[in-house]
Amino acid sequence: MRVSSILQAFILCCSSSVLKVATTATSKCVEWLGGVGFTKAYPVEKFYRDAKIGAIYEGTSNIQLNTIAKLIDAEYKNFT
């Protein structure tokens, strides 16, 4: 059980970090391209949409952080 909950918390941390990086990177690309960044002339528009929907699909970062906190709290509750 210990490995399972720690592994689950680690996976959630990785998922949250990857989503932040993807959203930030694609947002910067759209800014760099200006108004053309939102057109279908460049694939950045699709990457930005995918990054945003990934964050919605996986759950907001606050929900993920609450889940991580619950897993860590349950794991180390006996150490108080």
**H or E segment and range at residue 36:** none
- Measured distance CA(60)–CA(43) in Å, rounded: 25
Angle at 47 between CA 51 and CA 9, to 5 degrees: 25
Angle at 25 between CA 22 and CA 29, to 5 degrees: 135
Catalytic residue among 31, 45, 58, 75: 58
Annotated catalytic, 58? yes
Catalytic residue annotation: 58
